[in-house]
Amino acid sequence: MNQSLAKVLYVAGVTTFCTFLGCWAVLAHQENTPSSARQSTQRARYSDEIFVRNAADGSMTEVKLGQLAEEKAQAPEVKNFAKRMVEDHSKALEEIKQLGSKEGINMPTDISHQDAETYNQLSKLAGPEFDRAYSQEMVKDHQKDIAEFKKGETSAQKPDVKQFAQKTLPTLQSHLELAQHMQAHVSREGMSNGKASGGSSQK
């Protein structure tokens, strides 16, 4: 009787212990899974938020620099490009603000410190010197913007964010082509002016 009772107690004890382990494993999995999901969602939201905020900052900068170029540029090609930047990026900025509001993203209200420094440096230039510096900045900016929007197009988690990146990318690529043509034009102008002034001084 004692041996039978001991066997029963042993089996019951082992069963209870195994059941406890099973329950603990299930609970542990339930605790970890939502946490991983939350972390994944936070990372996705963080990535989308960075893209939207950067896009807003970029458009604000293009508008502000474009307005400066409309005032200070000498070449008609530069003035026309600047006008296009103000128009296109003002529209894009409105879309970004609506997207940010919809997604609950805290949007920037002004350009970054680095872009503000660029603005201040350009504001000190005039004539052909301004045209060349502005053209160079526009080529560099749009190359950077295109890289970011391509990343947003493939990496964005929110459908609206991805769609915005896809829709805006062709416009940015068009801007880059225009900026490169503008840069080539003002460079040729500078070389022509240099040769002319050199020739006149020799006379």
DSSP 80-122: HHHHHHHHHHHHHHHHHHHHHHHHT----SS--HHHHHHHHHH
pLDDT of residue 188: 84
Residue count (the chain): 203
124 three-state secondary structure: coil
Q: What is the pLDDT of residue 131?
A: 97
The packing angle between helices 159-202 and 127-155, to 10°, is: 160
pLDDT band at 47 (very low <50, low <70, confident <90, very high): confident
pLDDT band at residue 46 under the 50/70/90 scheme: low
Q: Which amino acid is at 33?
A: T
CATH topology of domain 44-202: Ferritin (1.20.1260)
19, 131, 164 from 27: Cα distances, Å: 12, 66, 41
> Is residue 34 scored above 50 in pLDDT?
no
**Residue found under tokens 């493939």:** 154
Residues 6+ apart with CB under 8 A from 103: 48, 49, 52, 158, 160, 161
pLDDT of residue 173: 97
The amino acid occupying position 21 is: L
Please give the Cα distance from 45 to 64 (Å, whole number): 28
Mean pLDDT of 68-92: 97
107-152 pLDDT, tens digit per residue, is 999 999 999 999 999 999 999 999 999 999 999 999 999 999 999 9
CB environment 100-122: b (16+ within 10 A), e (fewer): beeeebebeeebeeebeebbeeb
Structure tokens given for 55 = 């896009």
What is the C-alpha to C-alpha distance for residues 33 and 26, in angstroms, rounded to an integer?
11
Percent of the chain having pLDDT more than 70? 70
189 and 88 in contact (C-beta within 8 Å)? no
